[in-house]
Amino acid sequence: MSDRVKVALEWLNNLLESQQVAYQIVGGLAATIHGGSREVADIDLYIKKADAAKVLSEVTPYISKPLTHCVEGSWDLEYFQLIYQSQKIEIGLFPGTKIQSSENGSWYELHTDFSASVVKSYLGMEVPVIPIPELISYKRLLGREVDHIDVQELLQVSAL
């Protein structure tokens, strides 16, 4: 695991906790935290739209993409991107995020339930992570090559 992921995640976790912002880690990092083996490219997480201003006021020097609504690839969401000590962090806002099915092209709204997050120990931190069944569900919808890898590994981990 890259040191930059640990450093960035510690910084982010401390920042969000100090601002009392609920969050949920998703994407490849969530798959890794749950037992997957892929290298982490970026840190993906969701926060509530209502909390965005609290976070943005604290991260201005690290913003690489300002808060915007974006429809790109299989995603339709409001998000902003940070670079903290060379680690990319993407923070999506809930509600309103949609993903497109790779099978039929339909759009599905993601429902982030922060109270259902699974608190996992990762790199010496306790972090809230999307539950495995929800992660598998949205990765199956997206259907990218990396998603297929994550789904297979998550199915193996959840069967243990």
* Domain map (residue ranges) of the chain: 3-152
Question: pTM for this one?
Answer: 0.94
Residue with tokens 């910084």: 11
- For 18, residues 6+ apart whose C-beta sits below 8 A from its C-beta are none
CA-to-CA separations, 82 to 25, 46, 91, 101, 154, in angstroms, rounded: 15, 13, 8, 27, 27
DSSP code of residue 116: G
Distance CA 82, CA 71 (A): 18
Residue with tokens 């903290």: 84
Spell out, as residue ranges, where the chain has pLDDT lower than 50.
Answer: none
Residue type (1 letter), 45 = L
What are the pLDDT digits (tens) for 70-81? 999 999 999 999
CATH of 3-152, one of 3.30.70.270, 3.30.460.40, 3.90.1150.10, 3.30.1330.180: 3.30.460.40
If 0-12 CB within 10 Å is exposed, 13-18 middle and 19+ buried, where does residue 94 land? buried
pLDDT of residue 25: 98
pLDDT of residue 160: 62
CA-to-CA separations, 71 to 96, 98, 100, 107, 148, in angstroms, rounded: 12, 9, 10, 11, 22
If 0-12 CB within 10 Å is exposed, 13-18 middle and 19+ buried, where does residue 123 land? middle
Distance CA 57, CA 59 (A): 6
What are the pLDDT digits (tens) for 96-113? 999 999 999 999 999 999
Distance CA 144, CA 85 (A): 28
pLDDT of residue 43: 97
